[in-house]
Chains A and B, each alone.
Chain A
Amino acid sequence: MSSSSSPPAILRFFEQAGELGILFIQTLKNLLRKPREKRIFIQQMDEIGVRSLPVVAITAAFGGLVFGFQTYTGFYEFIGSGSEAYSGAIITLGLTKELIPILVGLMISGRVGSAMAAEIGTMKITEQVDALFSLGADPIRYLVVPRTLAALVMLPALILFGDIIGIICAFAFNLLMGVNAYIYMKNTLLYVEVWDVVTGMIKGGVYGVVIAQIGCWQGLKTQGGAEGVGRATTRTMVIAAILVLILNFFISKALPGDLNI
């Protein structure tokens, strides 16, 4: 179809949102149907979770360091010497509720989402997806469901891992700067609740589903050889990263600040 006859951008947007919505409904329908592809689910847990540990560790470590550094500087310059010890709660809340979920979400969009699009896209253009169908396997159940479930499980785990690394690095930086460790820890434990960590992990679960769905959706609609795979990969990265940022705001607004209200 020539570009002159392609539908307007707004229609294309709704068309694509519809495609993604249909894929999500099909994924939900296939969640409990047999046969369950346990082997692929475990493979994907390894791919999404275990193999992402180094990149998450580096991201969280430097995220924690820079956040610790800026908060320390802010307290020191604007409140006064000695007040930095009270930054622990702010650093930990900022890391667990916002910074680590966003950083992990963005890194996984790039590392995992685009890999899913590339793998499934290559399967699509080499007729492997058609082969799945002809051999009695539903491509949604075989490809999409295990990836989505694995991402749903592993993203919160990665965020928890990132939280630990980030908090330790921010704490270590403050210790190196001579902050009173006792006051820092005491304030952190006083103001930070388990719910704050859980909030970040809930975001992780949502990001996991979104990243996997977009990667699979773009992979399954790949056309046109290697160029098409490249386009699907790039689109996945861009769409997933933007959605992570947008969803982060809305989930932050939607979730209660603590469980007492």
Chain B
Amino acid sequence: MIHMEELYKSFGDKKVLRGLNLDVDKGETMAVIGQSGSGKSVLIKHMIGLVKPDSGKIIIDGVDICCLTLKEFYDIRRKFGLLFQAAALFDSLTVAENVSFGVERYRDHTPQEIRKIVTESLDLVGLRGIEDLMPHELSGGMKKRVGLARAIAYRPEIILYDEPSTGIDPIRADAINDLILRMQQELKVTSVVITHDMVSAYKVADRIAMLYNGEIIETGSPQNIQQSSNEIVQQFIHGHAEGPIKEW
């Protein structure tokens, strides 16, 4: 479903991706783990067209998106729902307007249908009766859930989660993990979860890929990753300060 091949990306002198290869199959949940600043968010921004690679291929459902114009990319973009790290809710819009934002642009619905979709999407993430609240009235966990409701409201085929458990307490983080699993079970979506939270990665992922030095250095099931002989992977998943990873 998603095929990334020999992807290179630099920002000024900083080489973020150095020949990255990654495949995500339809219906699976892939967790991409790696240090902070290793380029995980840049990776998913490539998938949705927010960042263009310097070179390499990104193929979504057989279409190489690197060569598409903005207009041509529109149909590809609607396949994706993206949950941003800090939810990125629109400050000036209510919860209902935030959730309906993508639906109004990607789907052709009447206002009554849109209202129903908003209620259903909020229900799906366990929120009710908050349609008229503004984002600043919500807690961090609620913002993430509203962000998720907004990402799923137009029923995308692929959901990208950028650090879904970052910045919230462990209990709320686990609730978000449960939501990710629920999305996969109920909506049958393909998911890519960017995280450095190994508890979350083990819980939600069918496969885990480790990003290091601009490349995917290991891919496998959670069990395979835990048993990996790669010292870099072992240092990261166990969170040891000492090891081959020296950068801070």
Chain A residues within CB distance 8 Å of chain B: 1, 35, 122-123, 126-128, 130-138
Distance between Cα atoms of A132 and B102 in the complex (Å): 9
Q: Which residue of B lies closest to A134 (CB)?
A: B82
Chain B residues within CB distance 8 Å of chain A: 12-13, 45, 48-50, 70, 74, 77-78, 80-82, 84-86, 88-91, 101-102, 105-106, 150
Distance between Cα atoms of A137 and B102 in the complex (Å): 8
A4 to chain B, nearest CB (A): 12
Are A130 and B101 CB-contacts (below 8 A) given A1-B12, A136-B74? no
Contact A138 B70 (CB under 8 A): yes
Contact A127 B74 (CB under 8 A): no
The one of B13, B80, B85 that contacts A134, using a Cβ cutoff of 8 Å: B80
Distance between Cα atoms of A126 and B87 in the complex (Å): 9
Contact B84 A136 (CB under 8 A): no
Contact A130 B45 (CB under 8 A): yes
Distance between Cα atoms of A132 and B45 in the complex (Å): 13
Q: Which 7 A-B pairs have the closest CB atoms?
A: A136-B105, A135-B102, A127-B88, A131-B88, A1-B12, A134-B82, A127-B84
B101 to chain A, nearest CB (A): 5
A12 to chain B, nearest CB (A): 15
Contact B150 A135 (CB under 8 A): yes
Distance between Cα atoms of A130 and B50 in the complex (Å): 7
A138 to chain B, nearest CB (A): 7
Q: In the complex, which residues of chain A have a beta carbon less than 8 angstroms from the beta carbon of B48? A: 133-134
Which of A126, A127, A134, A138 lies at the interface centre, i.e. has the most chain B CB atoms within 10 A of its CB? A134
16 further A-B pairs in the complex, CB-CB below 8 A; given A1-B13, A127-B88: A1-B12, A35-B105, A123-B90, A123-B91, A126-B88, A127-B85, A127-B86, A130-B84, A131-B84, A131-B88, A132-B90, A133-B77, A134-B81, A134-B102, A135-B101, A136-B106
9 CB < 8 A contacts A-B: A1-B13, A126-B88, A127-B84, A128-B90, A130-B45, A130-B84, A132-B90, A135-B150, A136-B106
B236 to chain A, nearest CB (A): 25
Distance between Cα atoms of A35 and B101 in the complex (Å): 13
